[in-house]
């Protein structure tokens, strides 16, 4: 918290690991996270995107919505609330972008 670091965790091969650390205002970090996940990717199936989250501020949600619109170009975007397992393990303010690769 002192350094304002926000980790980006990915699941690969069934294992979770930190792949990047963002720093600064949380809304800005979330927008950068969405951009990193979606921008200039040709391996994504553009039919459906899920944005799953625990409760976040309106500022954060708006930043994510703008980033999804700017970098996503998906036919359907579903905004879902994370369940109790994700909420308990990841904590408040968690947000994930889920998609299918081609």
Flag whether pLDDT at 1 surpasses 80: no
Among 2-16, 18-32, 62-76, the least confident range:
2-16
- Report the C-alpha gap between 91 and 45 in whole angstroms: 29
**Which residues lie below 8 Å from residue 7, measured CB to CB, with a gap of 6+?**
18, 20, 21, 22
| Residues 82, 84, 86, 91, CA torsion sign | positive
Alpha helices in 1-102 (DSSP H): 26-38, 58-71, 84-90
Flag whether pLDDT at 48 surpasses 90: yes
If you average pLDDT over residues 33-42, what whole number do you get? 92
Phi, psi at residue 59, to the nearest 5°? -60, -45
pLDDT value for 32: 95
pLDDT value for 81: 92
Using alpha carbons, select from 33, 22, 102 the residue that is nearest to residue 71.
33
pLDDT band per the 50, 70, 90 thresholds, residue 72 = confident
pTM for the model stands at 0.83
């Amino acid at each position: 918290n002192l350094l304002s670091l926000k980790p980006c965790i990915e699941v690969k091969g069934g294992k979770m690991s930190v792949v990047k650390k963002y720093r600064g205002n949380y809304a800005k970090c979330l927008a950068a996270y969405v951009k990193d996940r979606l921008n200039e990717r040709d391996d994504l199936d553009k039919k459906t995107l899920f944005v799953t989250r625990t409760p976040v501020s309106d500022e954060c949600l708006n930043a994510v919505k703008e980033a999804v619109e700017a970098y996503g170009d998906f036919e359907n975007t579903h905004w879902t609330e994370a369940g109790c397992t994700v909420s308990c393990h990841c904590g408040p303010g968690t947000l994930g972008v889920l998609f299918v690769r081609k």
